[in-house]
Amino acid sequence: MKIIPCIIGLGYVGLPITLNLAKSFVTYGFDKNRKRIENLKNKIDLNKEFGPKKFDNIKKIIFTNKIKDIKKCNFFILCLPTPIHKNKKPDLTNLNDAIEIISTILKRNDIIFLESTVFPGITEQYKNYLEKKTNLNNNKDFFIGYSPERVNPGDKKYTLKNITKVVAIETKNKKTLEKIYKTYNKISRKLIISKDIKAAETAKVIENIQRDLNIALMNEILLICKKLKINFKEVMRLAKSKWNFMNFMPGLVGGHCLPVDPYYLSTISKKNNLKTEITLAGRKINDRMLNYIIKELNYFLNKKNKTLKNSKIMIVGLTYKAGVADMRNSLNFKIFKKIKKYNNKIYGCDPFVTKNIKTTYDIHDNVKKSTYYDVILFLSYHKIFKKIFQNIISSKNRNKILDPFNYYS
């Protein structure tokens, strides 16, 4: 039977999958956001990951927000956001809604893959729900699996096509497995297959937790060095000379994944009466960096007899990571907004920020002369920033620069 893929949720994760599959199959892209669908139909990706050309050379792609359009699809890939509530508990609303849609259109032999980052046991939970709601049986009438997503927005080296993709499914049904390989091979060239869905769910969440913790450690070392007046850069140069020292750097941690995923694992551990000791440790330190930066800025200005309130401040790098348009959980932007509350002479520079935010917040790519500002605070590294501010970065007189993470020294 012909494979008819349908990707549900067309954001940072779902859109690249859709575009890859559409090169080989007639592919459906479903999103509840009508505006997103309209834009995609016009080859506009506001996430700035794909230009119009990437929508060419494809077999056929149908972008829709109507359930009736996807009824005939038989391979569903779910790429819904999995954020946390204000109380830091997992918010599964988007996934629940999508599974509800699937439950109304599920047919015999359909395949469903979850790609969202979750805690172990979620796929099984949804499998149980679908079985109950549809009277169809998993691994007999339909097949549900988990394939964690590793796409790294803004990264031109490690793309979806060339990274190794984990695909976990329990069935032994040969025809189904063939369909799965055929489909996932079009998404990524290297697949690593597992029969253990819970292991795949856990593997994904710990990849991000490990990174969060490692950055947190370096942030803490930076704070210690600052306090003890030790040259952090030199510390790193020396430590890195050891063969097994891991090269993590301090910085602001944001985005949809790292600030969220540790709460997913800790919640399920707590539910099972296990209190985690380390999983969340990175969260505290990494979030604390916001106040650290504001303190550093205040100190920097006070030394010039200025205050946070009356200074002309330029903040460079506002999205959560340089090179992407993603503002979710961006500490950079939080710092900007916090200061903006009492200072109307704060400016931002970030070519990656989308137009509407730029106009609301005075964010430019063409900045005024550096002499205009009392301080230029660099919060992330990108060669574009280096180019825009090359005069001041390369000058001997760098006394307007505050570069807390040593990106430009």
Ligand X SMILES: NC(=O)c1ccc[n+]([C@@H]2O[C@H](COP(=O)([O-])OP(=O)(O)OC[C@H]3O[C@@H](n4cnc5c(N)ncnc54)[C@H](O)[C@@H]3O)[C@@H](O)[C@H]2O)c1
Chain residues binding ligand X by CB under 6 A are: 8-14, 30-33, 36, 79-82, 94, 97-98, 115-117, 149, 151, 153, 256-257
Shortest Cβ distance from residue 365 to ligand X (Å)?
23
- Helices marked H in 229-308 — which ranges? 232-239, 261-271, 281-302
Shortest Cβ distance from residue 65 to ligand X (Å)?
8
Nearer to ligand X, 160 or 376 (CB): 160
Nearer to ligand X, 165 or 256 (CB): 256
Nearer to ligand X, 318 or 339 (CB): 318
Nearer to ligand X, 14 or 404 (CB): 14
- Helices marked H in 73-196 — which ranges? 93-105, 122-134, 174-187
Strand ranges across the sheet with 375-378: 363-364, 346-349, 313-316, 375-378, 401-402
Radius of gyration of the chain (CA): 23
Q: Which residue number places its CB atom closest to ligand X?
A: 11
- Beta carbons of 16 and 50 less than 8 angstroms apart: yes
Nearer to ligand X, 36 or 127 (CB): 36
- Beta carbons of 172 and 145 less than 8 angstroms apart: no
Q: Give the C-alpha separation, 6 to 18, whole Å.
A: 8
Taken in order 143, 146, 152, 153, the sign of the CA dihedral is: positive
- Give φ, ψ of 276 to 5 degrees: -80, 145
Shortest Cβ distance from residue 96 to ligand X (Å)?
8
- Residue 366's CB is within 10 A of a number of other CB atoms, namely 7
Shortest Cβ distance from residue 55 to ligand X (Å)?
16
Q: What is the SS3 assignment for 249?
A: coil
Pairing of the two strands 111-114 and 143-146: parallel
Catalytic site includes residue 257: yes
Q: Say how far residue 72 (Cα) sits from the centre of its chain.
A: 31
Tokens of 346: 């704060």
Shortest Cβ distance from residue 253 to ligand X (Å)?
13
- Annotated catalytic residue: which of 6, 73, 257, 349? 257
- Residue 355's CB is within 10 A of a number of other CB atoms, namely 9
Closest CA to 173 of 138, 147, 127, 197: 138
Q: Give the C-alpha separation, 306 to 299, whole Å.
A: 9
Q: Give the C-alpha separation, 184 to 20, whole Å.
A: 10
Nearer to ligand X, 66 or 383 (CB): 66
Closest CA to 180 of 292, 300, 172: 172
Nearer to ligand X, 106 or 376 (CB): 106
Taken in order 153, 157, 158, 163, the sign of the CA dihedral is: positive
| Catalytic residue ranges | 257
